[in-house]
Chain A
Amino acid sequence: MNPTTPTRKGVTCRNLVKDYGSGESRVRALRGVDVEIAPGELTLLVGPSGCGKTTLISILAGTLDATSGDFSVLGVNLQRLSKPAKADFRARNVGFVFQQFNLLPFLTVAENVAVPLIINGSSRATATTLATEILHAVELGDRTQSFPSQLSGGQQQRVAIARALVHQPRLLVADEPTSAVDARTGHAIMELIRQMALQPDRVAVVVTHDARVFGFGDRIITLEDGRVASSKRGERSFTHDPLAPA
């Protein structure tokens, strides 16, 4: 596969700026980010604390507005969308994996995974069936009726990954998905993200400052002080070709 095929839209940013606050207390988190993120690759976003990684993926995922600059995500100019349209965009196209998992404690594992489908208008029955299927794929088929609190951190993150992918989104964003789990579990999670998320037309961006997992990236973009310091091909030291048929 060729990640530069123009029909496959990824993410493009030109001179992206983000300020938090205003006046005296203004903080410029992004100072003109220029970046291309191609579909079909696992992109790692790395850099020191406070350099703007979270800010950047929040903007790309449509949960945060940029202050200025041009960017398009999957060929859509998010800045032009109204609030509800942006919510719909997220619901349909974005899968989220959070550092703290953010599973809903009052729903079972299967019900949690069903939530993105429910937000997209599926009935509970359909949603739960699909959710159970994908839970088998992340090897949690026997825990569908458990509550998140009954699972280990690694298991919870696997549930979160299942939830992020159940509705087949074209953009997967993950913010520090491995920092709340131990090294071995971290590897397993990155492995899972590679296996499950990588598809020719899917953009996958993982924020991490966990050097132990850098080897999973196809491309490693380094941010420093609100700017892109480098964008390199990854070493891909951990896995064989993720896109080879299983």
Chain B
Amino acid sequence: MRTGCLFPVWLATCYSSFSVILLREGAPPSSQDTLAGILGRKGDAVNWIALKMLMGDKSKYFAIVFGVSFACFLIAEQSAVFCGVMLRTTSQIRDTHGADIWVMNTGVRYLDDAKAISDDSVFRVRSVPGVAWAVNLYRGQGQAQLADGTYQAVILMGLDDATLAGAPTHMLLGSIGDLQIPDAILVDEAGFHQMWPSEPLSTGKVIEMNQRRAVVVGVYRASQTFMTLPIIYTRFSQATLFVPPPPTGRLTPFVLTKAQPGLPPEQVARRIEAQTGLKALTKQEFLDLTMQYYLRHTGIPVNFGTTVVLAFLVGTAIAGQTFYLFTVENLKHFGTLKAMGMRDRRLIAMILIQGMVVGGIGYGVGVGLATVFGIFSQRAMPLLAFFLPWQVLALSGAAMIVIVLLASLLSIRRVLVLEPAVVFQGGS
């Protein structure tokens, strides 16, 4: 679980605990009726009859709530995995701390689309007013040859030799400073396990890149990336030696920049663009650009969209079915109330109240399940992408409302066409 999404998780947990408490309403037959009591007192006593009907049969009540919870769980979980995957497309941008502006080739469409810019760009950027500092950042793909001769594709990051700006922050072994040692590299934890499976983390491992020796001097923890390649950090000058010389002769893909204190990074970025002709994006703009690219040009949204839509349909079917069946099973009672003079709109209100309570509790339980699933699955399977921003909570909430309304509409229809005369005809 990432910081920044703790609030929704907290909210979901609180709300779902509350829902579970309300769910227990269904357990005692009639002695306690907190929810029914509250709603019955606030609105009118008809609401209370509606809730008594809903919770009167414990097993039916649990079945309906389970149906709705399951629907909500499916939707929230699938959406959260989608968000997790989308988030991974930008993890490297987010993991690069310190700088607030990325300067790059105007043709760059997303992070992995790095195209080289002229190697003196960093000086031109430094001369732009408002720039506090600017350093080169190398990023490219490399081939690592392991001791046993196998090859492993890696992402190679080269930090400014003097400042090491943009270095990883979460070191597990060794320190950033060790990068100053000749041939030194840092490997991310997941990458280490990928290259040396079932070996404990250690320094001193040696690999070869572009026929040059590289020594692991530290292991750090990175956010999961989309491609799940090992991410190797080294100094800029070193990085350019670990890859074959590019045909253009240009080596620099990015210049990391910090705006002077008090100046909005957006403004400085626009100035850099105007003065250098390069593309300059704030961290957030670069995140958005990259995510937009994946959203527009890859199959991820379509594929996940399908899953989410399927989850929605399956959920609607399950929840709608159980709720509708519940109404049908209670049709006789609705008929009795109708014969006794209850108006149609009161009957509609009864069904809507039942739907809202089922939806509200089902939503809480479902979102709670999704959250618990997210927390535990991330422990068990670090490769699983799971990110629960508030938007997912809102989306599942909206989906719940739609599901409950659809189910209620069917039920309402049944009750409206019900002739009050049927009460005399049953069983005679």
CA distance A175 to B336 in the complex (A): 14
Within 8 A of B (CB), among A87-142: 87-92, 94, 96, 98-100, 102, 104-108, 111, 114-116, 118-124, 127
B56 touching A119, Cβ below 8 Å: no
A115 touching B420, Cβ below 8 Å: no
A102 touching B332, Cβ below 8 Å: yes
Contact of B340 among A96, A100, A108 (CB under 8 A): A96
A88 touching B49, Cβ below 8 Å: no
Contact of A92 among B341, B346, B419 (CB under 8 A): B341
A87 touching B44, Cβ below 8 Å: no
Chain A residues whose CB sits within 8 angstroms of the CB of B56 once the complex forms: 105-107
Chain B residues whose CB sits within 8 angstroms of the CB of A98 once the complex forms: 336, 423-424, 426
A188 close to chain B: CB less than 8 A = no
Chain A residues whose CB sits within 8 angstroms of the CB of B288 once the complex forms: none
Given contacts A83-B344, A88-B343, A90-B341, contact A54 B45 (CB under 8 A): no
A124 touching B340, Cβ below 8 Å: no
Report the nearest A residue to B55, measured CB to CB.
A106
Chain A residues whose CB sits within 8 angstroms of the CB of B46 once the complex forms: 118-119
B341 touching A89, Cβ below 8 Å: yes
Chain B residues whose CB sits within 8 angstroms of the CB of A115 once the complex forms: 49, 337, 340
A-B contact count (CB 8 A): 105
A58 touching B424, Cβ below 8 Å: yes
A84 close to chain B: CB less than 8 A = yes
B340 touching A119, Cβ below 8 Å: yes
Given contacts A89-B341, A91-B341, A115-B337, contact A102 B53 (CB under 8 A): no
Report the nearest B residue to A105, measured CB to CB.
B56
B340 touching A91, Cβ below 8 Å: yes
Chain A residues whose CB sits within 8 angstroms of the CB of B197 once the complex forms: none
What's the least CB distance linking B339 to chain A, in Å? Answer: 5
A96 touching B423, Cβ below 8 Å: yes
A63 touching B421, Cβ below 8 Å: yes
CA distance A98 to B420 in the complex (A): 13
A87 touching B48, Cβ below 8 Å: no
Within 8 A of A (CB), among B103-157: none
Given contacts A118-B46, A119-B337, contact A102 B342 (CB under 8 A): no
A243 close to chain B: CB less than 8 A = no
Given contacts A104-B336, A107-B49, A111-B52, contact A94 B341 (CB under 8 A): yes
Chain B residues whose CB sits within 8 angstroms of the CB of A41 once the complex forms: none
Fill in one digit per residue for B266-309: 1 if any A CB lies within 8 Å of its CB, else 0.
Answer: 00000000000000000000000000000000000000000000
Contact of A96 among B339, B425, B427 (CB under 8 A): B339
B57 close to chain A: CB less than 8 A = yes
A99 touching B427, Cβ below 8 Å: yes
CA distance A115 to B334 in the complex (A): 12
B333 close to chain A: CB less than 8 A = yes
Chain B residues whose CB sits within 8 angstroms of the CB of A111 once the complex forms: 30, 52
Chain A residues whose CB sits within 8 angstroms of the CB of B332 once the complex forms: 102
B34 close to chain A: CB less than 8 A = no
B40 touching A124, Cβ below 8 Å: yes
A38 close to chain B: CB less than 8 A = no
Fill in one digit per residue for A49-84: 1 if any B CB lies within 8 Å of its CB, else 0.
Answer: 000001001100101100000000000000000011
B382 close to chain A: CB less than 8 A = no
Contact of B428 among A94, A121, A124, A176 (CB under 8 A): A176
What's the least CB distance linking B233 to chain A, in Å? Answer: 66
Chain B residues whose CB sits within 8 angstroms of the CB of A89 once the complex forms: 341
A124 touching B45, Cβ below 8 Å: yes
Within 8 A of A (CB), among B379-428: 419-421, 423-428
Fill in one digit per residue for B333-361: 1 if any A CB lies within 8 Å of its CB, else 0.
Answer: 10011111111111000000000000000
B45 touching A87, Cβ below 8 Å: no
B341 touching A57, Cβ below 8 Å: no
What's the least CB distance linking A89 to chain B, in Å? Answer: 7
What's the least CB distance linking A176 to chain B, in Å? Answer: 6
Chain B residues whose CB sits within 8 angstroms of the CB of A114 once the complex forms: 45
Chain A residues whose CB sits within 8 angstroms of the CB of B342 once the complex forms: 87, 91, 119
Contact of A63 among B29, B44, B48, B423 (CB under 8 A): B423
Contact of A104 among B29, B53, B428 (CB under 8 A): B53
Report the nearest A residue to B41, measured CB to CB.
A124
What's the least CB distance linking B306 to chain A, in Å? Answer: 41
Given contacts A107-B52, A116-B340, contact A100 B427 (CB under 8 A): yes
What's the least CB distance linking B172 to chain A, in Å? Answer: 59
Given contacts A87-B341, A88-B343, contact A100 B40 (CB under 8 A): no
Chain B residues whose CB sits within 8 angstroms of the CB of A57 once the complex forms: 424
A58 touching B30, Cβ below 8 Å: no
Report the nearest A residue to B420, measured CB to CB.
A63
Report the nearest B residue to A58, measured CB to CB.
B421
What's the least CB distance linking A9 to chain B, in Å? Answer: 19
Fill in one digit per residue for A194-224: 1 if any B CB lies within 8 Å of its CB, else 0.
Answer: 0000000000000000000000000000000
Q: What are some 14 contacts across the A-B interface (CB < 8 A)?
A: A83-B344, A84-B343, A87-B342, A87-B343, A99-B428, A100-B426, A102-B332, A102-B336, A104-B53, A108-B30, A111-B52, A116-B341, A119-B341, A175-B424
Given contacts A91-B341, A98-B426, A124-B40, 6 further A-B contacts (CB under 8 A): A54-B428, A64-B419, A104-B333, A119-B46, A124-B41, A124-B45
> A-contacting residues of B (Cβ < 8 Å)?
29-30, 40-41, 44-46, 48-49, 52-53, 55-57, 332-333, 336-346, 419-421, 423-428
> B-contacting residues of A (Cβ < 8 Å)?
54, 57-58, 61, 63-64, 83-84, 87-92, 94, 96, 98-100, 102, 104-108, 111, 114-116, 118-124, 127, 147, 175-176, 179
